[in-house]
A and B are shown apart, each in its own frame.
Chain A
Amino acid sequence: MDLLDIARWQFGITTVYHFLMVPLTIGLAVLVAGMQTAWYRTGKYRYLKMTKFWGKLMLINFAMGVVTGIVQEFQFGMAWSAYSRFVGDVFGAPLAMEGLLAFFVESTFLGLWIFGWDKLSKGVHLACAWAFSLATVLSAYFILAANSWMQHPVGVELVDGRPRLNSIWAVLGNNTVLAAFPHTVFGCFAVAGSFLIGIAAWQIARHHRKSAVDDEDRKAWHGSLRLGAWVAVIAFAGLAISGDIQGKLMFQQQPMKMASAEALCHSEAPASFSIFAVGDVARPDCENVKSITVPYILSYLANGDFTSEVKGVQALIPEYQAKYGTHYPDDPRLGQFAGQPIDYTPNLPVTYWGFRFMIGFGGLAALGAVAVLWLTRKQKFPEGRWWAPLAVAAIGLPFAGNIAGWVFTEMGRQPFVVAPNPDPSGIDGVWMYTAQAVSAGVTAGEMLTSVIALTALYGVLAVVEIFLMVRYVRGGFDAVMPPKPPEGEKADEALSFAY
C-alpha cells in the first residue's frame, strides 16, 4: 500500500471509531440533563438515580470521545498537510470555532458537573449539565459545517488557485449542513434511545428473577425504558425526514454519489429504487446485477416527483470528464497518479451497501423501539426469556446504521476530498482530489506506524470501555448512588463523585 491508501485507512479507522463514541455521548448527555431536570423539578429520588446511573455510563464514554477527538484535529495537519494548506482559509474557521465556542464549554462544565454535586447549588449544577450537553450538540454543528463544505463548497472565491473565504455565513448556513446537522443529531438520539432500551430491559428482566424488587428501582428502570423507546421512535422519524431532504440535496450536489448509492448505471425515467442487489455491483456497466427494485421511488427520492429522470453512472462520467478533466495533472507530487486518467466512480459496492445498511439498520432499530412501546404500555412488561438479550443486541443497530451512513457519505465523495458541484447553486471550480491532499513530507513507514499504533490502542480501549460499561450496568443504581441518601449529611467535607 502506498502513503495515500494508508492515510485513507487511518482516517477511516479513526473517524469511524470516534463516531462510535460521539453519538452516544451527545444523545446521553442531553438525556441525562433532562433526567436531572426532572429530579430538580419533582424532587423524586428515582430521577436522581437515573441521572447518576446514566450519567456514569455517559462519563465512561465521554472520556473516549474526548481523547479520540484530539486525533481528528491533529491528523489534518499530520497526514493531510496539502489538504490543510489548500483549504485552511475556510476549513480552519469552523474548527477554531468548535474549540473556542463549544469544546471549552463542554470540558469545563463537565468538570464542574462531575465534581460539583455538593459544591454548587442544585440549580447551578443543573445549568452545568445543560451547558456541557448543549455544547456537545453545538460542537457537532461546527464539525458538520466543516464537513459539509467538503461536500459542497460555498462562501469562497478562487484566488491564485486556492479557495478564499468570502462569507462565513454562507459556510455556516450551507444548505448541506442545514440538512446534515439534524440528520446526524437524530442519529445520535437513535443511538442513545436504543442504549437506554437495551440496558433498562436487561435490568428489568433481571429484577423479574429476583424475589424482592425495590418498587422505586423498578419504576426507574421502566421509566428509562419508555424514555429510550420514545426517543428512538422520534429520532427515527426525524432521521427519515431529514434524510429525505439531505438525499434530494445530494442528488443535485453530488449526483455521482447518489447514482453509486443506487448502483444506477444507466439513466432511468421514471427511476426505481433498489432494495437489494445480487451480482457484481462493482462494475459501472452493471452487467450481471439483478436488483430487486420498487418502481418510481428513486425519482421521488431524487426530485420529489414520480416520473423524472435520474442520471446513472454511465451518463455522469462524461459530464464529470467534461467539467473536471479526464486526467490528473502531470505533477510529480501526485506520485503514481500523475498524468493518469481519473476514475470518477466511487467504490460502488461500498456506496451501494453503505446506503442500504444505513437505512436498513436504522429501520430495524425503529421497528424495535415501536415494539417496545407497545409491549410496555400500562406498566406491563413482557415475560419471555428471549426479549432482554434481543434488546441488548439491538443496541448495536443504530451504531451500525451511523457507521454505514458515514462510510457511504465519505466514500461516495471519492475521488475528491473536496467535491465539486455540477449544480449551479454551489461554487463550481473549487475541488481537490484526495490524491493531492496527503502529506508529501511524511513517509509511508511513519503513516503505517501511526495506523498500527492507533488501531491497537483503540482496540485495547474498546475492550476496557466495554468491560467498564458492563460492570456499571450490572452494578445498577447501587453502584452509582452514595451509600446513604445525600440529604442532611455534612457532605461538603468529602468530595463526592471524586476520582
Chain B
Amino acid sequence: MDLPTFWFCVIALLWLGYLFLEGFDFGVGMLLPILGRKDVERRVLINTIGPVWDGNEVWLIVAGGAMFASFPGWYASLFSTAYLPLLLLLVALIGRGVAFEYRGKVDTHRWRRNWDRVIIAASWISPLVVGLVLSANVFGLPLDEHGDRVGGWWTIFSVPSIVGALAVCGFSLLHGAVFLSLKTEGEIRERARRFALRMGVPLLLPVIALLFIAQFTEGSEWTWVPLVIALVAALAGLARLYRWRDGQAFALQGVALASVVITLFGALWPNVIPSTLDAANSLSIADTASSPYTLTVITWVAAFGTPAVLIYQGWTYWVFRKRIGTKHIPPVHAPSA
C-alpha cells in the first residue's frame, strides 16, 4: 500500500473513531428529554458522558487536521463546499460544549432547562450535519476544475446525503441508548434498554438504505462483505441486548459502524470527492495527497501519538467504568446569588 492510500485509510479510521465515540454522546444528548424525566435523572445521563465527551470531540478536530495535512485539496474542497452546514455544526458544537460545562453552575430550574434545550437541539443537529456532509462527500459534490463548488449552498442536499444524515442520526440515537443501558443502573437502564429494543430496527432503516445506495451506485464486489457484516452485527447487537448483554451489544454496534464506514470509504476509493459535474473534475487520492515527505512525517507522528491516545482514553473509560445511578448524584453545589 502506498502512503496516500494508507492515509486515506487513516482518515476513514479517524472518522470511524469520531462517529463511534461522539455517536454515543450525541445519542445521550438526544435522549435527554426521552429518558430523563426528573432533573436528577438528566444529571445521571449527562454524567455518563461527562468525563469523556470532550476527548471524543477531539477525534473530529484530529480528523479535520489530518485531512488538512494529508489531503489539503480534499480538506479545502469539502470544507468550503459544505460551508453553511459546517457553520451549523460549529454553532451546535459550541453551544453543546458550553452547555455541558455551564449547566450545573447555577442552581435554578430555568437555567438548567435552557441549557438542556441547547444540549438536546445541538445533539440532534450535529449528527444530522455530520451525516449529511460525509455522505454528500461519498456520493459527490458539484466541483469545477479548481475544486470549488458550482451552484449554491443547497447543492449539498440530495437523496443519498439526506439518507446519510438520517442514518448517522438514527445510529447515534440507538448507540446512545445501548451506551446508557451499559453505563447506568436502575430505572434509567431499563428505560434505555427498552428504547433500544423497541426502536432499534426502525432507527437502523436509514443506515441500511444508505448502505444499499452506496453499494449499487459506487460499490465494488468486495464491498458486499462489509455490507453484510454491518447488517449481521447490528441485528446481533440488538439480540445480545435482549439477553441483557449490553457490553457485547455495544461492541457489536461498533463492528457494524466499522463495516458501514469501510463500505462507504470503499465506495469512495480511489476518489476523495467525486465531482457530480464532470468526472474529470473528481478529486482523487493521488491528486490531493501531500508530498511523500509530509506524509512520512505525519505517519511518524501518528505512529507515536495514536497508541498513546488509545491507551489514555481507554484508561479514562476504565477509571469511570462504574455504572451511574441517581444515588451517585450529589446535591447541586453552586454559589447562591
Contacts and interface: CB of A to CB of B under 8 A. Distances in A.
A463 interface: no
B316 A89 contact: no
Contact of B83 (A85, A96, A439, A475): A439
Contact of A441 (B66, B80, B290): B80
Contacts of B50: 111, 114-115, 498-499
B313 A108 contact: yes
Given A77-B64, A99-B65, A498-B330, A457 B79 contact: no
B217 interface: no
Interface in A69-104: 69-71, 73-74, 76-79, 81-82, 84-85, 87-93, 95-101, 103-104
Interface in B48-71: 50-55, 57-58, 60-62, 64-71
Contacts of B337: 471
Contact of B62 (A104, A454, A461): A104
Contacts of B293: 164-166
Interface in A97-124: 97-101, 103-105, 107-112, 114-116, 119-120
Interface string B136-165: 000000001011111011000000000000
Given A74-B79, A85-B72, A115-B50, A461 B297 contact: no
Contacts of B148: 81, 439-441
Given A119-B320, A164-B291, A85 B73 contact: yes
Interface stretch (A32-40, A370-378, A443-451): A443-451
B94 interface: yes
A182 B207 CA distance: 50
Name, among B78, B101, B147, B152, the residue most crowded by chain A CB atoms within 10 Å (CB to CB).
Answer: B101
B329 A453 contact: no
A297 B297 CA distance: 43
B98 A63 contact: yes
A424 interface: no
A292 interface: no
A464 B83 contact: no
Interface string A410-447: 00000000000000000000000000000111110011
A119 B61 contact: no
Interface stretch (B30-38, B182-190, B247-255, B299-307): B299-307
B73 A479 contact: no
Given A88-B72, A92-B69, A108-B313, A453 B330 contact: no
A75 to B, nearest CB: 8
Contacts, number: 276
A482 interface: yes
A63 B298 contact: no
Given A73-B61, A166-B293, A81 B102 contact: no
A77 B86 CA distance: 10
A99 B77 contact: no
Contacts of A219: none
B109 to A, nearest CB: 16
B334 interface: yes
Given A112-B51, A116-B319, A499-B43, A88 B69 contact: yes
Nearest to A456: B91
Interface string B78-108: 1111111011001101110110111111100
Contacts of B301: 93, 96-97, 100-101
A101 B65 contact: no
A interface secondary structure, majority: helix
A472 interface: yes
Contacts of B327: 493-494
A294 interface: no
Nearest to A475: B335
A73 B62 CA distance: 10
A92 B54 contact: no
Nearest to B143: A441
B302 to A, nearest CB: 7
A89 B293 CA distance: 9
Contact of B66 (A96, A101, A105): A96
A495 B326 CA distance: 11
Interface of A: 59-60, 62-64, 66-71, 73-74, 76-79, 81-82, 84-85, 87-93, 95-101, 103-105, 107-112, 114-116, 119-120, 159, 164-166, 168, 333, 439-443, 446-447, 449-450, 453-454, 457, 461, 464, 468, 471-472, 474-475, 478-479, 482-483, 493-496, 498-499
27 contacts: A63-B101, A66-B54, A73-B61, A74-B86, A78-B87, A85-B73, A85-B76, A89-B72, A92-B66, A93-B294, A95-B65, A95-B68, A97-B301, A107-B54, A111-B54, A120-B319, A439-B76, A439-B148, A442-B80, A447-B83, A450-B83, A457-B95, A468-B102, A474-B335, A475-B336, A493-B327, A499-B104
Q: Give 6 closest A-B pairs by Cβ, nearest first.
A: A88-B72, A475-B335, A77-B79, A92-B69, A441-B148, A479-B335
Given A97-B301, A105-B312, 13 more contacts: A67-B93, A78-B79, A88-B69, A88-B290, A89-B290, A92-B298, A108-B312, A115-B51, A116-B319, A165-B290, A440-B148, A453-B87, A499-B47
